[in-house]
Amino acid sequence: MLTNYRRHISGSRELREILIADAVLILAFDMMLNGGIPSSASSFGAFIYFLPITAVGVTLSFVLHELMHKFVAQRFGAIAEFVHSRMGILITLVTAMFGFLVGIPGATVIYSNTFTRRENGLVSLAGPLTNFAVFLLFLIVGLLAFPNFSGNILTTFGYYTKLGYLQNMINFTLFISILLAFFNMLPIPPLDGSKIFAWNKPVFAAMIGIIFLLFLTIIPLYSLLGTMVLWLVIAFILSMFYRNIGL
């Protein structure tokens, strides 16, 4: 979620933009899961296998996250719309082709000069809280549907054939929902975490603590700590990108 002032776009155009961004992110995550273009081309069956899985996980985690920013901002009297970024889409696809992902296809833009710090914090909080809701829903479904449910995402990424299709879908959705919450909660402008930190530091600390605990339900501690530095670097690049394009 970003705050800026631009000409309002029509609802049909906004819907088209968010669908384009969603489709790009779905394809990008699928390519990343398969190691980029060379591996995806050589294992086309795996690419097709993961396509519905990434579609469910990305749509629920990304689209709902952005829409909740929009709806809460509108509740406070602001104009809010999702805007896709052509450069961001290009970066998303190009990085995915090489087997990693900087996913920045667009964001919800807020048009308001009357927001209080509290209102801005609450609008920002709506996105990560939506990711928490998606995570907890899929965790409950997994625990109820599978007697020996394991949300270890490394199993899905590395040995997906050992699990059933539904469990792989649940695992991926758990991963992408909490990953998106983590990125957005970093206190780096213009990410959500910077606004929440400025508004209420105890709320910010509680959110970070919850994210860390939820991560531990799907990723072993040694693996989580080993990859956090990379995620922080990517988040910093993401924030610099959005500031430079002026969204």
For residue 220, pLDDT over 90 is answered with no
Query: What value does the mean pLDDT take over residues 2-28?
Result: 79
pLDDT band of residue 230 (cuts 50, 70, 90) is low
pLDDT over 70 (residue 1): no
pLDDT in tens, 127-165: 999 999 999 999 999 989 888 776 667 677 666 667 788
Q: Are 245 and 87 in contact (CB under 8 A)?
A: yes
Under a CB-based contact definition with an 8 Å cutoff, are residues 156 and 164 in contact?
A: no
Measured distance CA(194)–CA(84) in Å, rounded: 21
Torsion of CA 171, 172, 175, 176, to 10 degrees: -150
31-81: pLDDT as tens digits: 888 888 766 555 778 888 889 999 999 999 999 999 999 999 999 999 999
Q: How does pLDDT run across 82-133, given as a tens digit for each residue?
A: 999 999 899 899 988 888 787 889 999 998 888 899 999 999 999 999 999 9
Residues 58, 73: Cα–Cα separation, whole Å: 22
Token readout for 39 is 């591996």
Model pLDDT, residue 247: 44
Nearest to 96 by CA among 24, 163, 168, 144: 24
Q: How many CA atoms lie less than 13 Å away from 205 in the CB half-sphere?
A: 3
Residue 95, pLDDT score: 87
